[in-house]
């Protein structure tokens, strides 16, 4: 087996015991694996430790961006690889990461292949999903966003070969749960930044998200899963603005 790279993998978790063997199992190229857990009620913490991760437990939830910065602060290697528990690295991507860490200098974007209820989506806005996940530790930081956080790095970015697999939603029950969680976090963040909502805006934005996914992003080419994803995006967008309106009241 090739030697580990000077890379710290970082991930945040809550009730991800079922995903961790696949995720952490794909990170053998990393010298350090950092897990920051926010009060899991399953055996996530023990599973992560059994798999060799350095685990820190927190009692609060500051939002995705701040929580990932906590994990970043625990990284000790020159390079950082950010990954979610429902993602895993393919052998082709590992090879590309090895090459970049050996000869590259700046951050790198990775093509993410996301599945929706068992199907990898080729269109619907998910087929060209480049995410910044690999970067030098000293030049990167996560935004403070409560949800939809992003990595902020200086310098130019490379794009790596291979894909990062992502099991986004296993079933519709998980879809509904995530819609509720993410829409609430988005509304709280938007309200704190001075944005205000309305019922009409919620309806218009929801319909626009549905049309964008199904037509403009060619979700219809993904078949029935594409239609379901379009409905999901419309549904989630409607609730984001509806919750913002309720906060505005």
pLDDT of residue 249: 82
Given a cut of 80, whether residue 142 has pLDDT beyond it is yes
Read off the pLDDT of residues 172-222 as tens digits, 9 standing for 90 and up. 999 999 999 999 999 999 999 999 989 999 999 999 999 999 999 999 999
DSSP string, 53-78: -EEEE-SS---HHHHHHHHHHT--SS
Q: Kindly state the average pLDDT of the residues 12-34.
A: 98
pLDDT of residue 1: 59
Q: What is the mean pLDDT of the chain?
A: 96
Q: Kindly state the average pLDDT of the residues 238-242.
A: 97
Given a cut of 80, whether residue 134 has pLDDT beyond it is yes
Using a pLDDT cut of 90, give the percent of the chain over it. Answer: 94
What are residue 166's DSSP bridge partners? 87, 114
Overall pTM surpassing 0.85 (yes/no):
yes
Read off the pLDDT of residues 73-88 as tens digits, 9 standing for 90 and up. 999 999 999 999 999 9
Q: Kindly state the average pLDDT of the residues 117-123.
A: 93
Distances from the Cα of 84 to the Cαs of 93, 110, 165, 175, in angstroms? Answer: 15, 13, 10, 17
Read off the pLDDT of residues 55-69 as tens digits, 9 standing for 90 and up. 999 999 999 999 999
Q: Kindly state the average pLDDT of the residues 224-229.
A: 96
- Which residues 6+ apart lie within 8 Å of 50 measured at CB? none
Domains and CATH numbers, the chain: 5-169 (3.90.550.10), 172-248 (no CATH)
pLDDT of residue 222: 96
């Amino acid at each position: 087996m090739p030697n580990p790279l000077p890379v710290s993998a970082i991930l945040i978790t809550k009730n991800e015991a079922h995903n961790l063997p696949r995720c952490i199992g794909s990170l053998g190229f990393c010298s350090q694996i950092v897990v920051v857990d926010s009060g899991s009620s399953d055996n996530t913490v023990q599973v992560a430790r059994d798999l060799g991760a350095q685990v820190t437990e927190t009692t609060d939830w500051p939002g995705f961006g701040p929580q990932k910065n906590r994990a970043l602060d625990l990284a000790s290697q020159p390079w950082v690889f950010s990954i979610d528990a429902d993602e895993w690295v393919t052998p082709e991507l590992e090879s590309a990461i090895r090459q970049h860490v050996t000869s590259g200098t700046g951050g790198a974007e990775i093509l993410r292949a996301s599945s929706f209820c068992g199907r990898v989506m080729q269109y619907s806005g998910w087929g060209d999903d480049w995410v910044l996940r690999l970067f030098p530790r000293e030049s990167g930081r996560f935004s403070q966003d409560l949800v939809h956080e992003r990595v902020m790095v200086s310098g130019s970015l490379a794009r790596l070969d291979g894909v990062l697999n992502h099991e986004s939603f296993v079933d519709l029950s998980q879809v509904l749960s995530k819609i509720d969680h993410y829409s609430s976090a988005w509304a709280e963040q938007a309200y704190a930044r001075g944005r205000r909502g309305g019922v009409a805006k919620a309806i218009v934005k929801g319909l626009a998200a549905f049309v964008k996914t199904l037509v403009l992003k060619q979700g219809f080419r993904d078949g029935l899963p594409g239609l379901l994803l379009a409905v999901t995006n419309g549904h989630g967008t409607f609730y984001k603005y509806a919750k913002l309106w309720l906060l505005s009241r």
